[in-house]
Structure 1
Amino acid sequence: MRRTLRWLQLGGRQREFVLTIALGCSTAALYSAYQRKPLYADTGNATGSWNGKSTVVSHDDPSRASGKDDKRTTTATLKDRLARGPLDSGPPPPPTKGHSVFDAEGDSPSDPLQAWQYATERVAAASGNFSNFDTTSLREKIKGLLVPKWIRQLPDWMNKLQNELSMAPWSLSWEIWEEAHDPEVNPEIIWDARVRVGQDLCQEEQAFLKKRQKSTARALAKYIGVPETEVDPEDVPTIGICGSGGGLRALVAGSSSYQAAAEDGLFDCVTYTAGVSGSCWLQTLYYSSIGRQNFLRIINHLKDRTQVHIAYPPALLSALSQAPTNKYLLSGFVEKLRGVPDADFGLVDIYGLALAARLLVPRGGLRVSAYDLKVSNQGFYTDRGTQPLPIYTAVRHEIPDAVGDVERLAKEARFTTKHYDYFQWFEWTPYEFYSEELDAGIPTWAVGRKWQNGDCIWRDNGLALPELKVPLMMGIWGSAFCATLSHYYKEIRPILKSSGMSGLDTLIAGKNEDLSKVHPIDPAVIPNYVLGMRDRLPKTAPESLHSASHLQLMDAGMANNLPIYPLLRPGREVDVIIAFDASADVKGDNWIRVVDGYARQRNIKGWPMGAGWPPQSNTQHQTVLEVEDAQENSPARVKRLMTPSERERQDPPDLGYCTVWAGSKEERHEYMDEPVPRQIESPDDDWHLTSPNAGIAVIYYPFMANKKVPGVDPMESDFLSTWNFVYTPDQIDKCVALARANYEEGREQTKRTIRAVWERKRALRLQREEEAHEFARSWRVKRGTAHLRRNGDVGQGDQFT
């Protein structure tokens, strides 16, 4: 312990000197051993006494034993010996005569002075070896082996980055901030904006729907194989595709699924695409100069860019310190730090920076486009209705303060205020940033500026801040690590239970309500656009929104890993939802089933209640045990246990590669009853889709193992983990092949479903037209009869009338 403390007390240079000496001594010893001549056991003396003595090797010539050598002769002899090297073919040294150089016959110095001279000569020779040894080169070699090159370059990178962000004149940050005040670079800084309050869609989206309807009519005719003249734009089903979260797994698998749909002609019939986490990254790439609205191009781009981890320092620091990528990536961060000083700059922002450096930079890093940095610029591809409208999602975790008088609150605010934690959904489109719960939104190009009373706050120079950049958005959309402690515990709970820590598991599970309110990592923030709008917001708006200066947003997968809620928004009137679920545990999470609660809360008609992975019904023995162990054995409870909602199917099979459910607009079951979903399993069940009262059709594609792609299983393959950020080209090919194989399994069923929905809408339109025609005809008849009666009553008619 004393030696350890003494070592810690040494300074940095002292430690380096000591280590150099120690390494030098060790190296010299190895060098000396390597240079020695071999010992030949050719002496005629008895060897029995050797066992008790230590071995001594002599490199001295016989002339040294006579004591007549001077210092010059000794040095010359040593140099000659060193020059000859260990592989010299000269005669071997004489055999050892004793165990000590002074015990050897004829080798003892004649007097103490000669002995001292002899000893000092040997020390001088050893010192010469040390003086000729290059310790500096050895230290560099050892440092190169132990310390990576990028760590040695880290100070230079950091100094360069610090200089660029110093806001000194003509530095990178100074240039970015100057362009933030230039309307030619950022025209939105001179545009005025106000908060729009209402449940209807914004005008830009309504105009998009009209144009997209004409485009999808032609695509639908080609997809289902009918003449274009038979497809009326009014009959075209509004189709929404949603991709799940799941990091790079969702990004790669989603690219393959969308590509398969595009090759089949289905993607051209789609009106909306919605994403969570990795699927948001996919939409960003699709509407960029990298993807160019081509999913094959995106897949090839991922093969080039995902072989290196997003947080690998050399690649990240190189992108941040070299042009043109440094300005491309850092512009949004400089604008946020300078324009909104009170906004926190945290881990999510750095995460978004790393994501953009890896995914939004093409190979080589020279073809970056600043046009890709704004979500509002994606309207260039959707304004004419030639591409689907992308929807990006995030959530805000509302955690109310602890209530005091629960009974009074239950009476006064029973139906207006929520007293439990929940997630609020927010959505981005190229046109608007909106929250359905708040019934309020702002233009997408105005996200990032400050707000008060529904108006934006202009800066002192009379300008507004530019739009919040995509790298910051990517961090928000994919910030799954901002989960609560409850979410983290779900990840490690199987490990605890399998390790025999059931007691600890029970203890932690009992605190789940408290754990669900704690976020170890703070979410990212954007300015609160509803600040000061208490009188214009719904009464259900949480109290914290009226005082918070910023909104804390995170990955929408905290609430539901499938972005179905935005597709159910009134006004969008989606007829078919195609869900590509690449979640970590598609069966265990069962995100489709979670939508039932949202549909009940929002009173959404047409959603197929009960859709999702079927729960396994209890066996008869388990049911009997539940009845016997029940604390209250009322007849109603016994009946509920003995006749579950799945009694029609004792053991419902798991879902396949493609499952279709049909909703209904008829009166639903009672709230507490478990609905039986209407699953379309064969063409004979298509009448559920063509019925006049049919609701939303849901087509579900889970990302799971397929025999056609052996060796790839999302539940077992390590590279398909959500937290894996390194994919080789071979792994991408395997993931792409699996997603494509799953789509092929349900390709015909999907086409049959969409055709059935089109036929239903077509029949309803023809029926409405027939009814309108009949009404007009009867109205004209009645009008003519009334005219005759009126003329007869007043006596103005003649005999011809």
Structure 2
Amino acid sequence: MERDWIPKRRNETISPIRTLLKRLAIPGFDSEAYLKDAETDPTALPNIGIAISGGGYRAMLCGAGALAAWDIRSDGSDKDGNLGGLLQSATYLSGLSGGGWLVGSLMMNNFTSVQESVNYPGIWQLENSILEGPENYSLLQYYNTIFDAVSEKKDAGYERSLTDYWGRMLSYQLINATDGGPAYTWSSIADDPDFSEGKAPMPIIIADGRAPNETIISLNATNFEFTPWELGSYDPVLQGFVPLKYVGSEFDNGKLPKDKSCIAGFDNAGFVMGTSSSLFNQIVLYLNEDDNNYVPDGVPDIAVEAVTSVLKAIGSDNNDIADWTPNPFKGWNDENNLSAESERLTLVDGGEDLQNIPYYPHIRKDREVDVVFSFDSSADTDYGWPNGASPIATYERSLTNISEGSSFPSVPGKNTFLNLGLNTRPTFFGCNATNMTDPSPLIVYIPNYPYVYSSNISTFQMSINTSELSAIIENGYAVATMLNGTRDKDWPVCVGCAMLSRSFDRTNTTVPDKCQECFTNYCWNGTLDEREPSEYNPTFIGEQIEVESSASKASSAFIAIAAIAGFMLAI
């Protein structure tokens, strides 16, 4: 369980934190002396989280660039201006929707690196649309295998949803296993020897609760998290967790009745990743449309028939849900749990409540996270760039009763984000902990920006050629490092200061002068400018990468109209 695992992980982060801080070399500060007793007294040791936003392949690949920049295994990440080792220093790693694909792919492939994922021919083959499948599968083989796997779930007595098909499709692209690893489960991560010894950060995938036939998701929607051990929510309207390994069993009031079987294997890894990105079920729906240009020729009738059958069973209004029936929280916390009497548990895309950055796991007070490095690839503006909508949504939610036990620092409105340029470079929120009523992590907000490539591709672009894939990842790397420190030579040092900010508070350590300078430059100081902003269309900072055109594929496969659910420009 998490409580037993945390000390192991914290101990494993000591060496990479020491190495990274020594390399960053904050002037006038002896990091080795500061952390010399970390093994026996972890008071000074920073507790670090990383959050990767949603936004389809854009979010997956931009986030991949950031993780590559923070991964000591990436070539050159230990050179001047680079930040390799931050990933190894993190305790928690969260993702939702496209960011969840990234986190899930790395973790389901034994915490592989981004560099290995790009170089290995078995995964991240995005040249073909997800409706076409990998090169080494015929179209008929691809669809027959997917629909046979979902039929087995139905034959076992469980409800199907479009997310089952979507999750299987995702698995072919993200998991290095035959047929996308239909037997791979999210809970199996906990059994991995390296992970169980704390040698990788804890992956957390976020989804939202939504009742069938409900179409609007508000900030009061229940936030669920999938960890390697549990599924559940801290929100007071549920306040409960169940062992993820045994979801699919018929729990009652948190217990399994003696006359009920103990079921395992329901938490298929693709289904978990698909649940967090269930808005993309729209792609599966294309199979049900006659003469749809997005669908390749030769899709077998079994695929169309299966989708039609599911739609008849669940209704078109429920096409974006993931059905986790039987409800594992039936009978639980019946005074507050809105679904305590329900046989079904239906979850949806983790960004549908506009919290498109998965801050939720990191801002729990009992997790005591010091700093969250958050990478935002949201498409909030007309040109597909972030404008701060995600941290704004989390801040607004933090002010309500549903966020009991969580805390998030103040952030300004969207107009201020744009007018002050807070969406053009990294910004720190919550710098002055003494001014906060409740302790919260320092939020390092890192927005997607065109350093070397226009990485603002459509959320629903479904195929990406190799050269564009590499360019988007390279741009994400540049965003995370501020172009290897060339935009601001102090950025790497300032990352070190952000890592230690809450630690300095805990240990009553005088903040080094250079860190004071960093906080002056990067912390939002409370200034507001809510005038109507001008059009936001950023320009390149570095030399633009030229890539092979993928327009021919994009036109036929696969840039969908971003009007689904009425808010798709936001994620």
Residue matched to 1:384: 197
Instruction: Give the superposition deviation at 1:458.
Output: 6.8
Q: Aligned partners of 2:139 and 2:191: how far apart in 1?
A: 28
How far apart, CA to CA, are the structure 2 residues paired with 1:427 and 1:611?
27
User: Which residue in the other structure is 2:364 paired with?
Assistant: 569
Whose relative contact order is higher, 1 or 2, with alpha carbons under 8 Å and at least 6 apart? 2
Please give the alpha-carbon distance, in whole angstroms, between the structure 1 residues aligned to 2:170 and 2:150.
14
Give how far 1:695 is off.
4.6
- Residue number in structure 2 paired with 1:340: 157
Kindly state the Cα deviation for residue 242 of structure 1 after the two structures are TM-superposed: 0.3
C-alpha distance in structure 1 between counterparts of 2:449 and 2:473, whole Å: 12
Q: State which of 86, 91, 113 in structure 2 corresponds to 1:271.
A: 91
Residue in 1 that maps onto 2:36:
229
Query: Aligned partners of 1:257 and 1:369: how far apart in 2?
Result: 27
Instruction: Tell me which amino acid in the other structure corresponds to 2:125.
Output: R
The structure-2 alpha-carbon separation of the partners of 1:420 and 1:277, relative to structure 1 and needing over 3 Å to count, comes to closer
Q: 2:409 is matched with which residue? A: 608
Identify the residue that residue 241 of structure 1 maps to in structure 2: 50
Identity %: 22
Distance in 1 between residues matched to 2:18 and 2:264, nearest whole Å: 46
Match of 2:251 in 1: 451
Structure 2 SS opposite 1:541: coil
Residue equivalent to 2:114:
295
Q: Deviations over 1:321-351 (max 9, x none)?
A: 48xx987x6786355212334x1x2322211
Q: 1:45-98: CA deviations, max 9, x gaps?
A: xxxxxxxxxxxxxxxxxxxxxxxxxxxxxxxxxxxxxxxxxxxxxxxxxxxxxx
Match of 1:357 in 2: 172
Shift of 1:398: 4.7
Alpha-carbon distance, 1:319 to partner = 7.5
1:178-197 paired onto structure 2 within 5 Å: none
TM-score normalised by the chain length of structure 2: 0.68
Distance (whole Å) between structure 2 residues aligned to residue 294 and residue 304 of structure 1: 12
Report deviation, 1:735. 0.3
1:208 pairs with 2:5: yes
Q: In structure 2, what is the Cα distance between the partners aligned to 1:482 and 1:750? A: 38
Give the distance between the partners of 1:659 and 1:293, measured in 2 at CA. Answer: 29
1:479 paired residue among 278, 281, 288: 278
Q: Is the 8 A contact 2:170 2:274 kept in 1?
A: yes
Task: Give the letter aligned to residue 4 of structure 2.
Answer: A
Alignment of 1:697-736 (within 5 A): 697-706=442-451, 709=452, 712-715=453-456, 720-736=457-473
Report how far residue 589 of structure 1 moved: 5.7
| 1:440-489 per-position Cα deviation (integer Å, ceiling 9, x unaligned) | 111110122222333235777x5535333122222212112469xxxxxx
Counterpart-to-counterpart distance in 2, 1:604 and 1:453:
23
Q: Give 3-state SS (helix, strand or coil) of 2:507's partner.
A: helix
Give the 5 Å matches for 1:115-264: 204-225=1-22, 226-227=31-32, 229=36, 231=38, 232-263=41-72, 264=84
Deviation per residue, 1:626-650 (Å, 9 max, x gap): xxxxxxxxxxxxxxxxxxxxxxxxx
Q: Which residue of 2 aligns with 1:521?
A: 319
Tell me which moved more, 213-222 or 270-279: 213-222
Task: Give unpaired runs (5+ residues) of structure 2.
Answer: 23-30, 73-83, 283-315, 483-490, 511-571
Say if 1:398 and 1:421, in contact at 8 Å, map to a contact too.
no
> Shift of the alpha carbon at 1:431?
0.9
Instruction: Tell me the secondary structure at the aligned position of residue 741 of structure 1.
Output: helix
Higher alpha-carbon Rg = 1
Aligned length: 432
Q: Secondary structure of the equivalent of 1:274?
A: strand
Could you say which residue in structure 2 is the equivalent of 1:547?
Answer: 341
- Mapped partners of 2:431, 2:120: distance in 1: 39
Contact 2:398 2:407 in 1 (8 A): no
Q: How high is the TM-score relative to the length of structure 1? A: 0.49
What secondary structure is seen at the aligned counterpart in 2 of 1:430?
coil
> Is the alpha carbon distance of 1:305 and 1:463 closer, same or farther for their aligned partners in structure 2, counting shifts above 3 Å?
same
User: Which residues of 2 match residues 29-108 of structure 1 at below 5 A?
Assistant: none
Q: Which residue pairs with 1:441 in the alignment? A: 241
1:274 is matched by which residue type in structure 2? S
Decide which structure has greater helix share: 1
Matched with 1:22 is none
Choose from 310, 332, 340 the match for 2:130: 310
Cα separation, partners in 2 of 1:753 and 1:374, compared to 1, 3 Å: closer
- Matched with 2:502 is 757
Distance 1:476 1:292 in 2: 21
Distance 1:476 1:593, change over 3 A: same
1:743 is aligned to 480
- Note if 1:430 corresponds to 2:228: yes
* Compared CA separation, residues 223 and 317, structure 1 to 2 (3 A): closer
| Counterpart contact for 2:410–2:429, Cα < 8 Å | no
Q: Which letter maps to 1:552?
A: T
C-alpha RMSD over aligned residues: 3.4
Superposed displacement of residue 572, structure 1: 0.6
